[in-house]
Each structure stands twice: as C-alpha cells, then as structure tokens.
Amino acid sequence: MLLWTVSISPLDAARLRQGLSELEINDPQRAQRVRERAKDAVVRLASDFPGDPMSGTLDEDEEAEARFADFADDEPCPALDPETGGCDLYSARPMTCRTFGPPVRSGAEGALGVCELCYHGASDQQIAACEMVADPDDLESKLLQEIEEQTGKRGSTIVAWCLAELDFAADQPR
C-alpha cells in the first residue's frame, strides 16, 4: 500500500470530488468506505496539519513546506483500498499519481524527476529517453485559474481533506 501524503491542487481536488460523486452513484458502499477512511485520516492528522486544519488548505511559506516534508509519511492514501491496495478513485486520481513513475521535468531548473524503483540501474540517457511532458500546453494553470475564479478559493490541500467533506460550520467531518 502506498504510504505517503502528497499536496494536491484545487484542480486535483475537484477531479477527486467528482470521482467520488460518480462512485457514490455506481458503488455507494465503496464510496462510503473511501469517505470514512478520509474522515479518519483528518481526525488523526488535524493536530499536525501544516496549514489551516479547518479548510484543509496547506500553508505555502518555507516553514510550512519543511513541516510538510515529514508530515504523514506513514499515512495511507484514503482512496486506496487497504485490502486490495487498488485505488478506488483511479480515473480521478491527482496529477502526482498520474505522473508517478515516468521521468517528468519539474522546477525552475527543469530537473528530471524519476521513480528510482522504476529505473533502477538505468543510465541517464535511458531515463531521458523515457521522459514525458505532463502538461505541454499548460492547460493545468488555465484550469486552476478558472476554478479559483469560480470558487474564490486557492491553495493546495491533501486527499484526506478533499474527500472528507468537512462541515466547517460544525467543525466536524460530515
């Protein structure tokens, strides 16, 4: 089972929520198990959340980024079925999950990030030959801007907060 917590964009969060809505129609019991895993994770992680635990929005300063680096490293993703290890929201998975494995350039320097488990023993040239461009037309930034304009919200979160559907007025997961 995947044990790591990743930051997801508002676009990823919207995609995950849509995927969970579709799962609620097609397999309500499985959707309920996903939501319960997410709520349980929120309860476990809220006290150490490197941001606003009420909204699930991660802080973006250097201190928060350092805290996030070690945050919930042993926490399973709530979208993963603990019995099968499969993703219950695979078709709606975040960009990080979609690009995990193949070499993808990131950062201002354009560093080529790879999964060492996938490319163990491969030369730099072999790895570079497998490179993929995740968003060649920069559609993600345009869609993010559109979501921010529609919702008035910005900032990253994590899968558990996205799927738990927090009721902020009552300060409790629904």
| pLDDT band at 171; cut points 50, 70, 90 | very low
Give the pLDDT of residue 27.
97
Q: What is the dihedral of CA 66, 68, 69, 74, to 10 degrees?
A: 150
Average pLDDT for residues 41-51, to the nearest whole number? 90
pLDDT digits (tens, 9 = 90+) for 104-127: 666 556 666 665 556 667 787 877
Q: Residue 168: its pLDDT value, please?
A: 36
Element housing 77 (H / E): none
